[in-house]
Structure 1
Amino acid sequence: MVKKAKLKKDAGRRKFKMHMASKDYRHITSRIERAAKIINDGHVRQVDVVDEKEFKHSSLNRAVLANRLGFKIGKVGRRPLLKLDKTKLMKDVMRAESLSGSSMNKSKINSMATNMLNENRDANQPILSVSRTFANSFLRVNSDLSCAKPKKLDIKRMKAACQQVLNPWYDLLQYLHDTHAYVEELIFNIDETSLQLREDWNGAVIFPSDLTPGFKQTPERMANATLVLGIAADGFSIPSVILWPLANVPDELKGLIGHKYFVWANKIGWMNMETSEKYFLTVLLPAIKKRRVSIGNPNARALLLIDSHSSRAIPSVWRKFAAAKVDVLTLTPHASEIQQPLDCGVNAIFKQSYNSEYEVPNATGIVLQRKSIARALPDSIDKCLLSKGIRNSFLKAGSLTKTGPAVWRKYPVQPILPPVVQSKPPRQYNGFNFFGKVITDKSLLDSWDRFNEAKSNGSQLQKDSDQEESQGSDSEYTDQ
C-alpha cells in the first residue's frame, strides 16, 4: 500500500514537471501562477505540487484560489497591487480629502483601490479586489503618508494653554514649596487612564505627512476599564489599581492581585465618588504614611497633585488628608496635559507599551480577551513606572520647586484660537469651585461644607415647595 502511494506521488510530480514545461502554459511567466493554473485545470493534484517544495503551502493555496476566481497574482500568490499611476492618483485624492476637511481611513483606501483596479474591467471578467490588509501595506510603502488618531478640537484646552491662566497656579505651587519645603519623596500625583475594551474600534486616519489634517472627530463612548496610577517625584510608584466594569472581579484578572496591583470591580469601569473615596483612604493615604516612615521622617509634610474631576468633590476625604499633613492641590481646569506629571509622559508610555503588548485573540470570546489583557498589563505598567521616566514627568510638568516658570513661559500670554471657532456657550456650573486650589485648606473646607449644606437645604425647600404647589393644585381640581 505504501509503495503504491509512493508510485502515485512520483507519477504526479513527473506529470507536474511535464505540464510546467509544456507550451500550453509557458506563456504564464509567474511560476506559481502557472502551477495554480495547472492544478485548477485538473492535470495534477495540489499535493503533487506541494511535494516539489518549490512553493510555500500557504502561498500556493492563495494562488490556486486567486486563479480560480480570475485574479492576477504575483510571485507569492498575493492579490494585485496598484500601479504607480494609480498610487499617485490615490495620494492626490487623499490630499484633496484632507484639505477639504474630510478623513481617509483604511477602509476607504481599500475600497478606493478596489474601484481603481476595476475601472477598465470588461463585463465578462471577474471583479478584482485588494486584500484586507492593503491599506497597511500602502501606508508602510509610502513614507510620505501619516496615520494618526485625531483628537476632537477642544477650545477649552486651547484657552487654558496661556500664561494668564497657567501663571497663577504655578505661583500657588511655588508658594507651597517655599512654605513647606517638600522633599521629592513626598510629592505625589495620581491619575487614571482608560483601557479600551473594544478591540475592533479604530479611529486612525491616513493623510499626507506635510499636511495637518483638517478633519474633526467626535469620540464615541465605549466600554472601558480604568488603570489608576500613583507616582512620587523621586521615581517611586504606589500600587496601581485596575477598575473593571463588572460586579465581580473576573477570574482571569485575579492573578494580577498582589503587592503591586489591586483589581476592583465597580460595574462602570471608571472613577466615581465611591471608588475615589476608597482609593484615597485605603490605598493612597496609607502609602503616603508608609513612605514617610521609610524615609525616616514620619511627620514630614506631603503634597498631592490631582485633577479637578467631579469624583474628587469629597470634602470629608480631604479633611482626613489635612489632618495627616498632606496638602492637596487641584490642577487648573483643562490644563492637566500641561500641569499633571502623569499626563506629561507616564500615561503615554503606558499606552504605547500596552497597545504593542496587547494581542487581540484570534478566536472571539470575552475570556480570551481578558487573558490577553492580563498578559499585557504587568509589563506595560512596569515600563511606564520606571524611576527615570517618572522623574522626567515631574520635571516636564514643572511640579518641583523653581521649575514652574520654565513650563508656563513657553506659552503665549493670551490664548491663541483658530480664526473661526464654533463653540457652545459655557455650561453653567452649579457645584463648589475647588479648581486650582488647595482643597485641604481649613477655610476652604468650611466654605465647601456650608455650600453643600445650603445646597441641600435649598433642594429640600424646593422639594417642599413643589409638594405644596402640587397639593394646592390637587385641591383646586377637587373643589372644581
Structure 2
Amino acid sequence: MGHHYEARIEELQKKTVRVREFERIMAETQEALIPMYIGKEVIQVKHKQPKALQVNFDEMPLRLSQSQYTTLICTDKYLSPAIVAPPRMRNYTIVLAICLDGSHLCSFIQLPLKHFPEEFKDLRAFDVRIITLGSGWITKEILEEDVMPVQIDQLNERRKIICQENSEWHYLLTFDSHDSLINLNFMNRLKAEKIDAFSLTPHSSGNIQPCDLGSNAELKKELMIKLGGNLELQHKNQENNQPCEFKRIRRIEVEIIKKRKTENKKKHKNIQRKEMKRKQDSNRKQSQKLITK
C-alpha cells in the first residue's frame, strides 16, 4: 500500500511537471507570441515613439547565498514521497530601466537591510539608488512608492527635452508579467502620465526580455556565480582590507568588457585573413589566365 502510494505520488508529480513544461514551451513558440507582437506593433504605429521613449523595465533578483538546504524525512530505507522544498535564501534585487537608444534611467538596488552601511556609501554610482527596507524582494508598495515616482519624474523631464515641439508623446514601457506589477493604482498612474504599459507573455520573458539578454545576461550570470556568501562576509572582507562585493561588481563588468574586446579582435583578424586569402586567390587566377594566353 505504502509503496503503491509513493509510486502514485511520483507519477502525478511527473505529469504536473510535464504539463507546466508544455505550457512554457508553447509560450516560447513563435505562433504563441504572435498576438503579443501584434499588440506592441499597434501601440508603436499609433503613437510612433522614438527610441528614447521606448523603455524596458526589469527586476533582477540575485541570491546572496549559493547554499540551499533540503529536508528529507525517511522511514527505514524508503524515501518520503513528499519532498520538502528548500527555503528561499536572502537575496537582493536590481531594478533596471533601459531605453531603446542605449540610455537608462535611475537604477535601484534593494538590499535586505534596515540601514545602508556607512562604509559602502562612497562606492555608490551617482545614478544608482539604494533601498533598505529589510527585504530584498520588490513588492507592490515598494514599486509604487519608492521606484516608479523617481522614474516617472525622469521620464517627464526627458520628454520635455526630446519632444519640445510636441509634449503629447507617449512613452512605451515594457515589463514582465510579475505579481508586483499587477496593481490598479500603478496602471492608473502610468495612464495619467501618458505612459503605455505593455507586459510580456508569461514564461517567455527569458527569451525576449532585453534586460535578460546581451551584456546584462553575462553580468547577471557572473554575479550569480561569483557573489556567494552573505552580507556579514562582505563586511569582514572590507575589515580585512580585501575587495568588498560592490567593488567586485565593477571588476566583473571590466572582465566582461575585456573578454568581449579580445573576441572582437580575434574576429577582426579572421576577417582580415580571409580577405587576404581571397585577394591572393584572385591574383593567382589572373596570373594563370595571363600565362595561358
TM-score by length of 2: 0.64
Q: Is the 8 A contact 2:109 2:131 kept in 1?
A: yes
1:327 match: secondary structure: strand
Partner residue in 2 for 1:354: 223
Q: Which amino acid in 1 is paired with 2:25?
A: M
Partner residue in 2 for 1:160: 27
Q: Residue deviations 1:190-241, cap 9 Å, x none?
A: 1111222115569xxxxxxxxxxxxxxx776211111111100000111211
CA RMSD of aligned residues (A): 3.2
Q: Which amino acid in 1 is paired with 2:236?
A: L
Larger radius of gyration: 1
Distance 2:205 2:109 in 1: 21
Distance 1:289 1:381 in 2: 30
Partner residue in 1 for 2:236: 368
Aligned with residue 254 of structure 1, among 99, 103, 121 = 121
**Structure 1: runs of 5 or more not aligned:** 1-151, 203-217, 386-480
Question: In the alignment, does 2:53 pair up with 1:181?
Answer: no
Q: How is 1:254-333 mapped onto 2 (pairs within 5 angstroms)? A: 254-297=121-164, 298-333=167-202
Q: CA deviation at 1:184?
A: 0.5
Query: Higher helix fraction: Structure 1 or Structure 2?
Result: 2
Q: Which amino acid in 1 is paired with 2:91?
A: N
* Identity among equivalent pairs (%): 28
Structure 1 residues 365, 358: closer, same or farther in 2, change over 3 A?
closer
Distance 2:120 2:68 in 1: 23
Q: Which amino acid in 2 is paired with 1:190?
A: F
2:65 match: secondary structure: coil
Partner residue in 2 for 1:190: 57
Query: Higher strand fraction: Structure 1 or Structure 2?
Result: 2
Q: Which amino acid in 1 is paired with 2:152?
A: L
1:246 match: secondary structure: coil
Partner residue in 2 for 1:377: 249
Q: CA deviation at 1:365?
A: 3.4
Q: Is the 8 A contact 1:360 1:372 kept in 2?
A: no
Distance 2:254 2:51 in 1: 21
Aligned with residue 110 of structure 2, among 233, 243, 247 = 243
Q: Residue deviations 1:307-358, cap 9 Å, x none?
A: 1111112211221211211101111111111332112224312224435775
Q: Is the 8 A contact 1:193 1:347 kept in 2?
A: no
Q: Is the 8 A contact 2:65 2:229 kept in 1?
A: no
Q: Residue deviations 1:35-54, cap 9 Å, x none?
A: xxxxxxxxxxxxxxxxxxxx
Structure 1 residues 380, 274: closer, same or farther in 2, change over 3 A?
farther
Q: Is the 8 A contact 1:190 1:229 kept in 2?
A: yes
Q: Is the 8 A contact 1:226 1:243 kept in 2?
A: yes
Structure 1 residues 159, 252: closer, same or farther in 2, change over 3 A?
farther
Q: How is 1:385-424 mapped onto 2 (pairs within 5 angstroms)? A: none
Q: Is the 8 A contact 1:189 1:342 kept in 2?
A: yes
Q: Residue deviations 1:56-75, cap 9 Å, x none?
A: xxxxxxxxxxxxxxxxxxxx
Structure 1 residues 346, 325: closer, same or farther in 2, change over 3 A?
farther
Distance 1:189 1:384 in 2: 22
Distance 1:258 1:289 in 2: 22
Q: CA deviation at 1:359?
A: 8.2
Q: Residue deviations 1:397-454, cap 9 Å, x none?
A: xxxxxxxxxxxxxxxxxxxxxxxxxxxxxxxxxxxxxxxxxxxxxxxxxxxxxxxxxx
Q: Which amino acid in 2 is paired with 1:176?
A: I
1:237 match: secondary structure: coil
**Structure 2: runs of 5 or more not aligned:** 1-16, 70-84, 258-293
Distance 2:97 2:254 in 1: 13
TM-score by length of 1: 0.41
Q: Is the 8 A contact 2:170 2:196 kept in 1?
A: yes
